[in-house]
Chain A
Amino acid sequence: MPSTPSSADFVAAEAVARHFDVSKPWLSRTIERSPRVFLKAVDGVSFSLAKGETLALVGESGCGKSTVARLVVGLYRPTSGRVLFDGLDLTGLPAAERTRSRRRMQMIFQDPYASLNPRWRVRDIVAEPLRAFELTKGRAEQDERVGDLLSQVGLSPADGEKYPHEFSGGQRQRISIARALSSNPEFLVCDEPTSALDVSVQAQILNLMRDLQEKLGLTYLFISHNLAAVRHISDRVGVMYLGRIVEIADSETLFSAPRHPYTQMLLDAIPDLAMSGHVREPMGGEVPNPLDPPAGCHFHPRCPFANARCRAETPALRRYGAAEAACHAVEEGRI
């Protein structure tokens, strides 16, 4: 799949960037002669998804992957670049058409304790999209649909009467999924849906998501820092570092033959029984201050292969077999 998305793709991000203004107040800036400061949370990210596919974005916290999720669903407006959904840029659409497209995409959030309004009954939470998009007529039909949705995610229709605090984290995430499914979406953005859950529950939720994908033909954008979960669910994986995608490849290729030094470092950090006894490279250094990222390749201070070019020139994504990576060392054949 080429890195420049074509309009035939179901969902596409085209050089999307999002900068946050984190400058000091105007007066302090003027007196201290300090410049405006921008946090480049997402700095020109491109990818595309075909229908029915699962793309995962992985990276350490603060790399901008959650911002990408919010840009894709339209919770943030991009500073530059655009997001296409079924060939349409939602930011420019008239309200009625935007609503129609919005129904087709939904999001599952990271924190099951913050993503459900604690003052609402579960049935009202799940029914909110039904009411917003006027998908059901009358109370009876709505209640029936909510009951179906709850059964579909492995809860009982009677659970609709309860409040969120009466459920465990895993059950709450099922409620989140039921809410997301209620508007019959085709595309789900999942922002670290399992990272707040116990390991045993994580697998259940991931399996549920995979079953639903099979049954309903869903397309997933799966944001995670958990490589095991990513391997379990995704067709393709993009690796992010400080607002940029450094490598993107199909799951099989990425996990068996990582190209980018950062990807290799991430994979090395996974505890693996088969590799016990193997001397692992320690994860070198800290993530730099995102307000003042290193010049050139952002990863160069931590990279064992960095040279003068890496410190000066930003590498672009290039294709190497089944993978694409943004790395001068790979390009020059130094790795």
Chain B
Amino acid sequence: MRGWRDSDLWHSFTRSRITVAAAAIAGGMVLAAFLAPVIAPYDPFDLASLDLLDAHIPPVWSEDGEARFPIGTDDQGRDLLSAILYGARISIGVGIASVLLSLFVGVGLGLVSGYAGGRVDAFIMRVADIQLSFPAILIALLVNGVLRGVLPSERQDDLAIYVLVLSIGISGWVQYARTVRGSTLVEKNKEYVQAARLIGISSASIMLRHILPNAMGPVLVIATIHLAVAVITEATLSFLGIGVPPTEPSLGTLIRIGNDFLFSGEWWVTIFPGVTLAVLVLSVNLLGDWLRDALNPKLR
């Protein structure tokens, strides 16, 4: 099945101009973010290189703009372009790590739930139902709050990124678990699974080597859409001041910092990271929408 599906996917991909554009933009942004140390003009984390005299410089096309800082600087004299590149790196990194965490937890629990059935299944699915009745952002906020209560305060800034990944990751596993459980329920009754059980293949091996490859299609769709959600959640938590510390700002942190200067007319400190975030999320969402429709002809 793989052969025609790939070519079919490719065909549907090239036919949708919006999707190609979204893929190009998302790909470009991810690439630029990860190459930030190479392509960014300055290192915004290097406090020694910051000069407060460079603070509050508007973009180059305004009256007081300087060519050194194409889209201006923030209140610390950080080059905004470099800060955005590094910030996007943190945002995307946290987003991908959170998605991977959700994916591992959710796929694992979904497989076990669907394959084992009975009480294990009932328990996992009840917990999933309960969590699903709350918005992910609320779960992430709570996990975040609890972790902060548990961790020693002097270590919190170092661990902030891990806390963030854990909170967002835990808030997102349910979708994966439900989907994978559904596929597992279908696959486990197929005769190839019985053929494997017959020769004494272990349950773990059947789940991982037989069922999992057949349940991964929808998981990829969820992961793509979830990446957009995870990036938004990260930005939101950082904006609310409980995400990454200001010394290593993500896009959300940059927006929060800039928000304080919005009223003094320094719009660029907020607007540029905001637009970056919006474009990133929008293009990833468009990709996810396309992938969902392309893999599921019934939804078209």
Contact = CB atoms under 8 A, between A and B. Distances in A.
Contact of A75 (B192, B194, B210): B194
B1 A116 contact: no
A119 B197 CA distance: 17
B210 A117 contact: yes
Nearest to A124: B209
A73 interface: yes
Interface in B6-53: none
Given A102-B200, A107-B195, A119-B213, 18 more contacts: A74-B198, A75-B198, A99-B200, A109-B195, A110-B191, A115-B190, A115-B191, A115-B192, A115-B195, A117-B192, A117-B213, A118-B214, A128-B199, A128-B201, A132-B199, A176-B195, A179-B195, A183-B199
B205 to A, nearest CB: 9
A119 B190 CA distance: 13
Interface of A: 70, 73-75, 98-99, 102-103, 106-107, 109-111, 114-119, 125, 128-129, 132-133, 163, 165, 176, 179, 183
Contacts of A74: 198
B199 A118 contact: no
- Give the contact-size bracket for chain B: 10 to 19
Given A73-B198, A133-B199, A119 B214 contact: yes
List 6 tightest A-B contacts by C-beta distance, closest first: A115-B191, A109-B191, A119-B213, A114-B190, A117-B192, A132-B199
A133 B1 CA distance: 29
Nearest to A163: B2
Nearest to A98: B200
A165 B198 contact: no
Contacts of A129: 199
A118 B187 CA distance: 11
Nearest to B190: A114
Nearest to A125: B192
Interface of B: 1-2, 190-192, 194-201, 210, 213-214
B193 to A, nearest CB: 8
Contacts of B196: 128
A98 B197 CA distance: 13
Nearest to A183: B199
B98 to A, nearest CB: 27
9 contacts: A75-B197, A102-B199, A106-B198, A109-B191, A118-B1, A119-B213, A132-B200, A163-B2, A179-B195
Contacts of B191: 109-111, 114-115
A238 to B, nearest CB: 22
A18 to B, nearest CB: 15
Nearest to B197: A75
A179 B210 CA distance: 16
Contacts of B192: 114-117, 125
Contacts of B2: 119, 163
A92 to B, nearest CB: 16
A100 B201 CA distance: 13
B198 A117 contact: no
A130 to B, nearest CB: 10
A109 B191 CA distance: 7
Contacts of B197: 75
B170 to A, nearest CB: 30
A110 B191 CA distance: 8
Nearest to A103: B199
Nearest to B212: A119
